[in-house]
Amino acid sequence: MATAPRFWRENPSRYNMVGFKCNSCGKFYFPPRIICPLCHRKSVGKTEPVKMKGTGAIFSFTEIHEGMDEHNVQKPYIVAMVELDEGVKVTGQVIDCDVCDLSIGTRVRATLRKLSEEGSAGVIHYGYKFVPVRENGERPGDE
Amino acid sequence: MKGVGIVSYGAYVPHFRIVPDEIGKVWGVDGKAMGKGLMISSKSVPAPDEDTITISVEAARNMMSRCDVDPKDIGALYVGSESHPYAVKPSGAIVAEAIEAAPDLTVADFEFACKAGTAAMQACMGLVGAGMVKYAVAIGADTSQGAPGDALEYSASAGGAAFLIGAEKVIATIDDTYSYTTDTPDFWRREGQLYPRHGGRFTGEPAYFKHVISGGKMLLERTGMSPEDYTYAVFHQPNGKFPTRAAKQLGFSAEQIKASLLVPQIGNTYSGAVPLGLAAILDEAKPGDRIFAVAYGSGAGSDAFDITVTDEMATFKREAAPTLNELMANPKYLDYATYAKFKGVIAKERD
């Protein structure tokens, strides 16, 4: 069972996709890390937190029919690996669409939704999910 | 208060809809006739992972993407709603973090039935006008509740809009505001209750019409303006009939409320209703246009606003966020069973 403080520590990443950039090699990482896994010691003192734009393309996706209890209401739901424009791959739920609306390469953007609730009396956890967009900002299927 | 007004705005409406016929079929009611009477052809439904906070965040992010204001310059943020997800824990604190305005600002949640968002706008005007803050954010958003089978179920929907109030690069000045408040028990929800109760027909004449007409008339008197001086008008829209009749009684034409009348497509968004109607007007308004707005909240009161669109609108980055027409386009329609599941009315027993 998750606890409120554990989620709270990750709020900058969950709300605003704050990741990490290594200024030694120039690579972006998400979620943030302490040191760059490529540059190791060379990255010490050369890293900075960076907010990802939240836009990217679907690298791969699947439709989940037997998932977690807390997602019962949304079954079947779609989970995708999204390659963000910064080059980082992130896993997240894709919402407000049907699986037939999506293909590898579909453009998506991050939005804030409820991720889970600790029961009816517990804390509500919010974080990023992805919605599909067309280049002109409309949703797939819009005519 | 001279020069204080709207610097930017953003809106959000959920993707899902249900039509009155679908609701009526379940309760043995002629839903089509009900929808016709209310002038509602569909209403928006929040997804199971949406609430007032997520709607507020989406609207506020759309607002921020249309301007170059540094979120750290926001000194106040108020969320007006009657469906705050927490009874104790501010919605606004989460919204402030999500638009990176925290921590140097004051935040509070407002509640005044359907006019909490416009009450927040007035508070923001005061803080900016007094020079206490550079920018302030007022949000009106709701995932409103209608008990299964109740008349409200045909209209209670979800959506919201956010306004950045300031005194620089203002796209629309708020030239005057007037509020009219009395103790009128037309609609209420007691602490711990899931659904509101209402006084049926009592919500009309002594409640909505008395307050909207009084607020509107007083504002016209204070400003010395006539209805025909305005390009647009927006009134609280619990259904299509009420704002249409109120507009007529005050002397406004059907053409003046056309752009703001969203209730036929998305239902009654409660605290989001006038903010969304105003956002729809700003989506098409031109410099020099005058806007007349009257919000209504049960319990009961009205907030009236006299607004002028400025020359800044000509260069405003309106296209940086979706317009109401874009937000409302291509919705997904739900059957009643899925709607009931989304609203938490039916739930699967957990192991």
- Residue ranges making up the domain that contains A62: 55-132
Give residue-wise pLDDT tens across range A24-47.
999 999 999 989 999 999 999 999
Domain count along chain A:
2
Whether the per-residue pLDDT at A140 is higher than 50: the answer is no
Residues whose CB is less than 8 angstroms from the CB of residue B250 and which lie 6 or more positions away in sequence, other chains included: B213, B216, B217, B220, B227
Q: B79 is written with which tokens?
A: 């969320």
- B15-31 pLDDT, tens digit each: 999 999 999 999 999 99
CB–CB contact A112 B326 (8 Å): no
| In a shared domain, residues B33 and B181 | no
pLDDT digits (tens, 9 = 90+) for B138-147: 999 999 999 9
pLDDT of A92 strictly over 90:
yes
User: Which residues of B fall within a CB distance of 8 Å from A11?
Assistant: 97
Measured distance CA(A19)–CA(A51) in Å, rounded: 6
- Using a CB-CB distance cutoff of 8 angstroms, which residues of chain B are in contact with residue A50? none
Considering the domain boundaries, does residue B335 fall inside one?
no
Q: Which of B113, B138, B171 is a domain's end point?
A: B171
What was the pLDDT predicted at A2? 57
Interface test mutation site (partner B, options A68, A70, A73, max chain B beta carbons within 10 A): A73
Residue A143 in domain: no
- Average pLDDT value over all residues in chain A: 91
**Which H or E element spans position A93?**
strand A89-94
pLDDT of A68 > 60? The answer is yes
| Segment B176-204, tens digit of pLDDT | 999 999 999 999 999 999 999 998 888 99
pLDDT of residue B291: 98
| Residue B82 is among the residues annotated as catalytic for this protein | yes
A23 and A79 in a single domain? The answer is no
Residues B64-86 have a mean pLDDT of 98
| CB of B50 less than 8 A from some CB of A | yes
pLDDT in tens, A101-113: 999 999 999 999 9
Question: Do B167 and B24 have their domain in common?
Answer: yes
pLDDT band of residue A71 (cuts 50, 70, 90) is confident
Tell me if B342 and A138 make a contact (CB, 8 A cut-off). Answer: no
CATH number of domain containing B287? 3.40.47.10
Order of strands across the sheet with B172-184?
B106-110, B74-80, B135-143, B158-166, B5-12, B172-184, B299-309, B290-297, B232-235
Q: What is the mean pLDDT of residues B312-318?
A: 98
Specify the pLDDT at position B45. 98
3-class DSSP state for residue A7? helix
**Residue-number span of the structural domain to which B184 is assigned:** 172-310
Does residue B25 lie in a domain region? Answer: yes
Mark whether B150 and B24 lie in a shared domain: yes
pLDDT of residue A143: 42
Nearest to B15 by CA among A83, A129, A58: A129
pLDDT of residue B341: 95
CB contact B349 to A (< 8 Å): no
User: Positive or negative CA dihedral for B305, B98, B57, A22?
Assistant: positive
What is the reported pLDDT for A122?
A: 93
Same domain? A61 vs A125: yes
By percentage, how much of chain B surpasses pLDDT 90?
Answer: 95
Respond yes or no: is residue B124 known to be catalytic: no
- A141 confidence band (pLDDT: 50, 70, 90): very low
Based on the fold, state whether residues B296 and B189 are members of the same structural domain: yes
| Mutation target vs B (from A72, A113, A125; most B CBs, 10 A cutoff) | A113
| C-alpha distances out from residue B280 to A44, A103, B78, B156, B275, Å | 50, 33, 21, 19, 9
Mean pLDDT of the B78-84 span: 97
Name the nearest CA neighbour of B5 among B125, B112, B131, B118.
B125
The pLDDT assigned to B350 comes to 61
Hey, what are B15's tokens? 């993707």
- Give me the pLDDT at residue A135, please: 57
CA distance B233 to B213: 13
Confidence of residue A134 (pLDDT cuts 50, 70, 90): low
Shared domain check, A125 and A98: yes
Residues B11 and B160 in one domain: yes
Query: A142: which chain B residues are within 8 Å (Cβ-Cβ)?
Result: 329-330
ipTM associated with this complex: 0.94
Q: Mean pLDDT across chain B, nearest whole number?
A: 96
User: A36 and A59 share a domain?
Assistant: no
Q: How far apart are CA A47 and CA B308, in angstroms?
A: 48
Shortest distance, CA A35 to any CA of chain B (angstroms): 25
Q: In this model, does residue B78 exceed pLDDT 90?
A: yes
Number of domains in chain B: 2
What integer is the mean pLDDT of A53-71? Answer: 93
Asked whether residue A76 is domain-assigned, the answer is: yes
